[in-house]
């Protein structure tokens, strides 16, 4: 484990899949190791943090993953298994605007340095904006208006209807569980029921 950590932390890594190429730099690789567990191939929980991610034409600053119940399954070759896996990806605000261009071309979206998400009419950016919050309902992201801002900020009633954005199906059974806005980013959290990787003896 310690050898693996030395090999990974600070290194630029690339992974190819059917969906494209992912390049990232591992910045943290930690686990609360237990000697009794290690004797039977049990690593407990492992936390990974990566920065400077590139996937196809998209760039992301930071992502993290917590792999629960990590263990080596004795087989030929041995298999490293984690179940479940919780992943968090920080999506820069410009990517959010690209999402609206693709899914809702009449709107323009941004997340300010104050962590507030704002929607504008794409053809009338100077006409003010709507402050929104996000919530998930299955595979639909609901953007709930909270205030209208022109010259003044006017709070909206709690019953104001939300705007639905249908999310694409995620690969490998990944399920989106949370969407939060932070300073200049959208923080996405998802869960994968199980992850496994062959572990060649070399």
Q: Give pLDDT tens digits for 76-104.
A: 788 888 889 999 998 887 777 777 677 67
- Mean pLDDT lowest for which of 39-48, 88-97, 120-129, 145-154? 39-48
Q: Within a 13 Å sphere around the CA of 29, how many CA atoms are in the beta-carbon half?
A: 15
Q: What is the mean pLDDT of the chain?
A: 83
**Spatial separation of the C-alpha atoms in residues 114 and 142, rounded to whole Å:** 21
Q: Note the pLDDT tens digit of each residue in 106-128.
A: 878 888 889 998 888 878 777 88
Query: pTM score > 0.85 for this model?
Result: no
Q: Is 127 exposed, middle or buried (0-12, 13-18, 19+ CB in 10 A)?
A: exposed
pLDDT at 157: 92
| Residue 200 confidence (pLDDT) | 66
Q: Do residues 147 and 153 lie in contact, with contact meaning Cβ atoms separated by under 8 Å?
A: yes
Q: How many CA atoms lie within 13 A of 139 on its CB side?
A: 7
Percent of all residues in the chain with a pLDDT value above 70, rounded to a whole number: 88
Q: Is residue 75 helix, strand or coil?
A: coil
Task: Answer yes or no: is pLDDT of 16 > 80.
Answer: no
Confidence of residue 5 (pLDDT cuts 50, 70, 90): confident
């Amino acid at each position: 484990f310690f050898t693996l950590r030395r090999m990974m932390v600070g290194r630029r890594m690339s992974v190819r899949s059917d969906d494209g190429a992912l390049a990232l730099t591992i910045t943290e690789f930690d686990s609360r190791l237990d000697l009794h567990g290690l004797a039977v191939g049990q690593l407990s929980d492992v936390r990974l943090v990566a920065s400077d991610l590139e996937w196809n034409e998209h760039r992301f600053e930071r992502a993290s993953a917590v792999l629960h119940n990590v263990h080596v399954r004795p087989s030929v070759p041995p298999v490293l298994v984690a179940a479940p896996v919780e992943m968090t990806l920080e999506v820069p605000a410009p990517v959010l605007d690209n999402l609206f261009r693709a899914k809702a071309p009449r709107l323009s979206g941004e997340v300010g340095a104050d962590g507030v998400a704002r929607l504008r009419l794409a053809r009338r950016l100077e006409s003010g904006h709507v402050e929104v919050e996000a919530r998930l309902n299955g595979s639909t992201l609901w953007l709930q208006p909270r205030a209208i801002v022109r010259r003044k900020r006017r709070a909206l009633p709690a019953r104001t209807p939300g705007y639905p954005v249908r999310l694409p199906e995620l690969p490998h059974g990944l399920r989106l569980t949370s969407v939060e806005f932070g300073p200049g980013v959208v923080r996405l959290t998802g869960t994968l029921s199980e992850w496994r990787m062959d572990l060649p003896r070399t």
